[in-house]
Amino acid sequence: MTTSTKLRRSMLFLPGSNAAMLSTAFVFKPDSIMFDLEDAVSLREKDSARLLVFHALKLRNYRAMETVVRINPLSTPFGRQDLEAVVRAGVDVVRLPKTDAPEDVHVLEREVERIELECGREVGSTKLMAAIESASGVVNAVAIATASPRLIGIALAGFDYVMDMQTERGDGTELFYARCAVLHAARFAKIDAFDVVFSDVNDDEGFLKEVELIKRLGFNGKSLINPRQIEQLHNAFAPTQEEVDYARRVVAAAELGERQGLGVVSLNGKMIDAPVIQHARVVLQRAQASGVRR
């Protein structure tokens, strides 16, 4: 497995049953858009949401961005039908909720492959994401993160997790171990890590404080429930002008060293090795995507 180069800072949740939101949400341009067939959809609308998402996935506007669908667990009467719909419709990534063990990913992987074969889709082209929402999932995070080469990332889901831990959302202390465990598992597996949603959309200060924390920890991005949070998140993840200038110098020095056949190069007397160069490229990628931090 190799580290992903796709930028995934913002993953916007959209209720799969809301026709108006599905018709327009592409204008907000998150890095990934996630249609939800699980908790955001009532039991009586599971069938209608599945069909709405099935057709929305085929819209040209959504084909231009990474699409993710959170299906219902495969243990429910809805999960397999969801999977049939979204794999056939060409979804980029299937997000599995409530992943407690690597076996959950294995079962999903087998089902996805069966559908790909049946509908003529290239085997392996449907990527997966596992959401960790329990103590069991956190304890098994490494095994889950390495369970399939289709996995592009793992996500921590806060609400169910704190319920399982017999606590509630607070200042983030309650998520500290889980965040670190999920993040380390993702880094070990060389896949992306996504943080929990921040549900109070009117608390900009609290949101930005949480974004700063998860960015510093090393998360790739965050699940979002309101389009308003996208720009705030992208700006917080954007590098400063100083960081961009330094990254440009690092990349230029590295390219010069490569042309000269040097294994290691230096900039202002400091050694520049592969991780420094890789980080500089990420900084430039973020700057290209959303400019410099305001």
Partner 1 sequence: MKIVKEAIAGTLESSDVQVKVAPSEGTLEVVVKSEVEHQFGAQIRAVVNDTLGRLAVSEGIVLVEDKGALDCTLRARVQTAVLRGGAVKDLDWSVL
Residues that bind partner 1 (CB under 8 A): 19-20, 22-24, 47-48, 51-52, 54-56, 58-59, 81, 84-85, 88, 119
Length, in residues, of the chain: 294
Alpha-carbon span 266 to 2, nearest angstrom? 26
Q: 3-state SS string over 131-169? A: EECCHHHHHCHHHHHCCCCCEEEEEECHHHHHHHCCCCC
Closer to partner 1 at the Cβ: 22 or 144? Answer: 22
CB of 231 to partner 1, least distance (A): 23
Closest contact distance (angstroms) between CB of 33 and partner 1 is: 15
Q: Closest by alpha carbon to 107, among 136, 66, 73?
A: 73
Are 86 and 125 in contact by the 8 Å Cβ rule? The answer is no
Helices (H), the chain: 19-24, 46-56, 60-63, 79-89, 102-119, 135-139, 141-145, 158-164, 176-189, 204-217, 228-237, 241-259, 274-290
Give residue 125's identity as a one-letter amino acid code. S
Residue 144 sits at φ, ψ, to 5 deg, of -70, -45
Q: How far is the CB of 24 from partner 1 (least distance, A)?
A: 7
Q: Based on CB atoms, which residue is closest to partner 1, 51 or 274?
A: 51
Min dist CB 87 to partner 1, Å, is 9
Residue placing its CB nearer to partner 1 in the complex, 80 or 293 = 80
* Min separation Cβ 259 and partner 1, Å: 50
Q: Measured from the CB atom, is 29 or 88 closer to partner 1?
A: 88
